[in-house]
Chain A
């Protein structure tokens, strides 16, 4: 095995039989990932459209309900996710250069940030469960209901949107762990780094969704 800092991939990657070469395979995979992300945008879109419609319909109620959210928590999570995007970008560039140790390290930090995000999310959710600011029938904050009769609908959207996003974060952690194990085995190098690059695209997308959710839910209002 070569030195840990400049090692290229020690596990040989075989280009699938229907591609000309590794480059062809990489570009095709990347296009597939972009198409998947396009699909993701539309997967989230009903929630955004629904949020805009009901916010327009019940402007006052959504305004009052939004004040129940703690923007500091949201801001902390924004910083955490942007940091994780930075470490993810580092992982991709290190994988391309064949720097195994650095790739593993950057992926590890990305995973830690992702867990940090979920911890903050957990604190926020448990606070809301405690306060009774929950979706639909589960809502039981009588005072808030008097001030804003449609507040439950706001929390429906809050939980649906952040929940769907959190599911994407959890899925991302699973993929990141898998990529980390493959990186440790030395599967990636200048000739083959497709999985790292595609995971990076996915992770930046998850980050980007949060960049929209944070101002829409926590700040506007």
Chain B
């Protein structure tokens, strides 16, 4: 372990490529994740633009049906497994979690580095399938199609299997770190809500991911050897695959959204200069969502042929998700009330989150309702719903987090004016892209087709134009953030006057995170502590 030398920070000490590739420093590993994820976000984004371009006009626009199947499969797989799942926990969390706790590192630094390389290896295997005829199953790999298709589905499920272990390792690491490495005074009730969110996320990562991992192994064995578990011809049951798959993949959507909610809690308090409304209710609600996550998977399978009793029970249980989620949304709004609000880029993204996530959440209730879901299953309504939650929710929160912690990560400030322009384009473009899909879906436009009836043309063209607005917004963000990375003005230690511990350290932090041993004497959002 390198010891801190005066005037150095984690970015410039120690030097050399090797010191980065073999680093055990959680901050550097966080940055490795961050830039890898940005790359895969670009890849997944290009696939998204291709999808929208094909849907510009009915029938053949730029690709045929088989190519289209592959393009939407890669968009989904890349975005889910390589971008949204690790986006906030592995990139932001790795950097911020130990600093918020007042720790020098995560509990198991070597496991942390291993998790990064496991992730990278899995991602490489996934992208390598492009050179082996590609994959056309969709990201859900439903049997029996996935066990029979001639494409590289076997290789892709192994890639997801590998990346799953990266997720499990990160989860184990975070739980142990939160339990064992809190600074003196950092009690459970002083834990920032971002950490409560990462804790709940980690629990899901550790408990749900292994189920998917083994299921994918069984699917691969089914493809190679025909072992029969998911094959009705051999007495197996393809619906069992759906059960196992969603037992992971429903909680997985909370792996995506819970850390986002944590970010929003941090940003809203800082830029309202107010303590969070209902701290304990927020922490409990975080775990409430994680708990309910495990008992609602069947709502993805209302038309799969599972029993009516199961449908009824899963529909009923799913409604419970709305309660802790409602607690959160109302608490954020109550935090804004009478706060002194400043509209810097992180706050703009947080407010955008509140707006679009609420739409995503409420349409989720429509889909949880059995009768309406049967009508809406496999239509663009579902596509719009989960994009409102995953893009409108997680991606907006990620952008909030990137702007909020940018000064801490790199010791430099980004330019506020282009950030607002870019925010506006992304927010506007997002709604232009996905609002029409609610309308198209509720009128019966099915998902996963490269073609549609001419009546839906104007809605699809609107949606495609929206996708270009989003792309433009991200290009602008890439430009001004890259500029700030090298040429931005030097950031002070605490540019936003935040109260959480990571801001007590310099920007960027020294190798050992703090130049003194931190002691916590106040709550995470106690903005008027000095006045008392």
Residues of A within 8 A of B (CB): 16-18, 24, 27-29, 31-32, 35-36, 38-40, 42-47, 49-50, 53-54, 58, 135-138, 149-150, 152-153, 156-157, 160, 164
Contact = CB atoms under 8 A, between A and B. Distances in A.
B172 A36 contact: yes
B283 to A, nearest CB: 20
Nearest to A164: B214
Interface stretch (B149-157, B228-236, B406-414, B431-439): B228-236
Contacts of A42: 207-208, 210-211
Contacts of A49: 244
A138 B226 CA distance: 8
Contacts of B370: none
Contact of B173 (A32, A53, A136, A149): A32
Contacts of A35: 171-172, 175-176, 206
Contacts of B98: 18
A27 B180 contact: yes
Contacts of B104: 17-18
Query: B interface, by DSSP: helix, strand, loop or mixed?
Result: helix
B143 to A, nearest CB: 13
Given A38-B206, A43-B210, A149-B235, 17 more contacts: A17-B104, A17-B512, A18-B104, A18-B181, A24-B180, A27-B180, A29-B107, A46-B214, A47-B214, A136-B227, A137-B226, A137-B228, A137-B234, A152-B234, A152-B235, A156-B227, A157-B229
CB-CB nearest 9 A-B residue pairs: A43-B210, A18-B104, A136-B228, A137-B226, A18-B105, A136-B227, A28-B180, A42-B210, A150-B235
A40 B210 contact: yes
B365 interface: no
Nearest to B512: A17
B168 A156 contact: no
A187 B138 CA distance: 51
Contacts of B235: 54, 58, 149-150, 152-153
Contacts of A157: 229
Interface string B201-230: 000001111110111001001000111110
A205 B236 CA distance: 29
Nearest to A36: B172
B179 interface: yes
Interface of B: 1, 98, 103-105, 107-109, 111, 168, 171-173, 175-176, 179-181, 206-211, 213-215, 218, 221, 225-229, 231, 234-237, 240, 244, 512
Contacts, number: 112
B361 to A, nearest CB: 28
A156 B109 CA distance: 39
21 contacts: A17-B1, A18-B103, A18-B181, A28-B108, A29-B107, A29-B108, A32-B111, A32-B172, A39-B206, A39-B207, A43-B211, A45-B211, A53-B237, A135-B227, A136-B226, A136-B231, A136-B234, A137-B228, A153-B228, A156-B227, A160-B218
**B173, B229, B231, most chain A CB atoms within 10 A:** B229
B236 A39 contact: no
A70 B198 CA distance: 48
A32 B111 CA distance: 10
Nearest to B222: A136
Contact of A17 (B105, B168, B214, B226): B105
B181 A136 contact: no
B210 A50 contact: no
Nearest to A35: B172
B210 A39 contact: yes
B210 A156 contact: no
A154 B173 CA distance: 38
A160 B210 contact: no
B229 A28 contact: no
B206 A46 contact: no
A31 B176 contact: yes
Given A43-B213, A135-B225, A153 B207 contact: no
A28 B107 contact: yes
Contacts of B240: 50, 53
A18 B105 CA distance: 6
A201 B207 CA distance: 19
Contacts of B226: 136-137
A176 B403 CA distance: 48
Contacts of A47: 214
Contacts of A137: 225-228, 234
A160 B227 contact: yes
A39 B167 CA distance: 11
Contact of A153 (B103, B172, B218, B229): B229
Contacts of A135: 225, 227-228
Contacts of A43: 210-211, 213-214
A27 B176 CA distance: 10
A35 B208 CA distance: 13
A32 B512 CA distance: 22
A62 to B, nearest CB: 11
B228 A156 contact: yes
B132 to A, nearest CB: 24
Contacts of A58: 235
Contact of A32 (B105, B108, B211, B237): B108
Contacts of A46: 211, 214-215, 218, 244
B225 A44 contact: no
Contacts of A53: 237, 240
